[in-house]
Amino acid sequence: MKFNQSNIKKAKKYLDKNYCIGVPTETVYGLAANAYSNYAVKKIYKLKKRPISNPLIVHYSNISDLKKDCLINDNFLRLYKKFSPGPITYILNLTKNSKISKIVSNKKNNLAVRFPKHKIFRKLLNKLNYPIAAPSANISTRLSAVQASDIKEDFGNKIKYILDGGKCSIGLESTIIDLRNKPRVLRLGGLEVSKIEKALGIKIKININPKKKIAPGQSRLHYSPGVPLRMNVVKPKKYEAYVLLNKRKNNHPNFFYLSKRSNLKEVAKNLYSTLRKIKNKGYKAIAVEKILNTGIGRSINDRLKRASKF
Ligand code: TXA
Ligand code: MG
C-alpha cells in the first residue's frame, strides 16, 4: 500500500484549500471535500455530474464531532457502539447550529453520516477540523471506484490528488439506515441487515425500492458497468463475458472469476473491479452466474439487479 505521513499531509493541504480529492474507505473510494464549505461541496456535484437533489454522506472520525452537527438517539448509540467505524451510514436530524453546507443534503434538515474504518482515511480525518462530504468516487450512475486507478479512469486529471489506500476490503457501499423515526433500511450494503436487526432486537423494514424515492441511490439506473448485464445465467452467449463465483477447470477466455472458493465476501470485494475490467476489455455484454441471496449476497444481488436495468 502506497502510504506515508507525507501523503496524509498532502491530502490535508488540498482539502484545507477546498479542493476535492480521492480518499480510500473500507467500502469504496470517496470523492472528498470539506463538508462545511459550500464552495468545496459544489465541486463534488460538478465533478461527478451529480444532480444537486441527490444528498451526500458526511464522514466523521468520532461521535463528539458528530454531536456538533446532528441529533443522536438510542438506536443510533446502540448501532454506533456495535458497528462504527464500519460500513453503515445513519440518517439523523441536523442540530440548529450545524455548520454543514446546505447543499450537502439539499437544504433538508437531515444528514447521512458515516464513520469509516479505513486506517488511512481515519488518520486523515483525525487531522482535520471539519467533517468530510464524500460520495463514491465515480461519475454518477456508474460503478463505484474500489482502487485509485478506477478514479483516474473516471476523472483523469480533473482531481487534484488521490490518497492511495490500496484496494477496498469490502468493495460494496455502506448499508444506509434511516434512524429518525422507526428504523428502516434505505440501501443494502456492506453490513448485513440481519446483524442490525439482532443489535436492535427488532425486525427492520427494508425500503430500497419505494414508489417515492428517498435516496437517489435507490434508482435502478445506479451502479451500471456501461454495458448490458444479465443475472442468474446458466449458459452464456458466445460474445458475453461470463462472471463466475469460483474457478473452473475449463478455463475459457470469456470466463472471469470473483472468488477462489465462492466466498461471498471475496465476491463482493472483486465485483466492481471485475465488471470494470470486462468493460475495458471491450466486451459488449456481461452474463453473471447465480449468486446465493443470503448474507452479503443480498447486497451483491441488489447491485447486479440495478446494473442489469442499463
Ligand atoms: O460506502 C459508502 O457509503 C460510500 C463511501 C465513500 O462512504 N459512499 C457512498 O456515497 O456510497 P454515494 O453518494 O455514492 O451514495 C450515498 C447514498 C445516495 O444514494 C444518497 O441519495 C443517499 O446515500 N443519501 C445521502 N444523504 C441522504 C439523506 N440525507 N437522506 C437519504 N438518503 C441520503
Ligand atoms: Mg454512489
User: Looking at the structure, do residues 238 and 198 belong to the same domain, yes or no?
Assistant: no
User: Looking at the structure, do residues 128 and 15 belong to the same domain, yes or no?
Assistant: yes
The DSSP-derived string for 29-89 is: -EEEEETT-HHHHHHHHHHHT--TTS--EEE-SSHHHHHTTB---HHHHHHHHHH-SSSEE
Q: Which atom belonging to ligand 1 lies closest to the Cα atom of 114?
A: 7
User: Looking at the structure, do residues 100 and 12 belong to the same domain, yes or no?
Assistant: yes
Residue 42 to residue 12: CA distance in whole angstroms: 18
Domain boundary, last residue among 174, 206, 238: 206
Residue 310 to residue 283: CA distance in whole angstroms: 15
| pLDDT at position 215 | 60
Domain boundary, last residue among 206, 221, 245: 206
The grid coordinates of residue 93 equal 436530524
Residue 108 to residue 155: CA distance in whole angstroms: 29
Pocket of ligand 1 (CB under 6 A): 25, 27-28, 30, 54-57, 89, 91, 105, 110-112, 114, 134-136, 173-174, 176, 186, 214-217
CA of 253 to the centre of ligand 2 (A): 31
User: Looking at the structure, do residues 169 and 302 belong to the same domain, yes or no?
Assistant: no
Domain boundary, last residue among 191, 206, 221: 206
| pLDDT at position 273 | 97
CA of 136 to the centre of ligand 2 (A): 4
| pLDDT at position 224 | 87
Name the residue with the closest Cα to ligand 1, atom 19. 217
- Domain residue limits at 239: 229-307
User: Looking at the structure, do residues 80 and 166 belong to the same domain, yes or no?
Assistant: yes
Q: Which ligand is nearest to the CA of 29?
A: 1
At residue 177, φ and ψ (nearest 5 deg) are -125, 130
The strand order across the sheet containing 286-288 reads 229-230, 286-288, 241-244, 255-257
Pocket test for ligand 1, best of 173, 178, 184, 221 (most atoms within 8 A of CB): 173
pLDDT mean for each 10 residues of the chain (310 residues): 82 98 98 98 96 95 97 98 98 97 94 98 98 96 95 95 97 98 97 98 91 59 87 97 91 93 96 96 97 96 90
Q: What is the three-class DSSP state of 198?
A: helix
Name the residue with the closest Cα to ligand 1, atom 18. 217
CA of 135 to the centre of ligand 1 (A): 6
| pLDDT at position 249 | 80
Q: What is the three-class DSSP state of 244?
A: strand
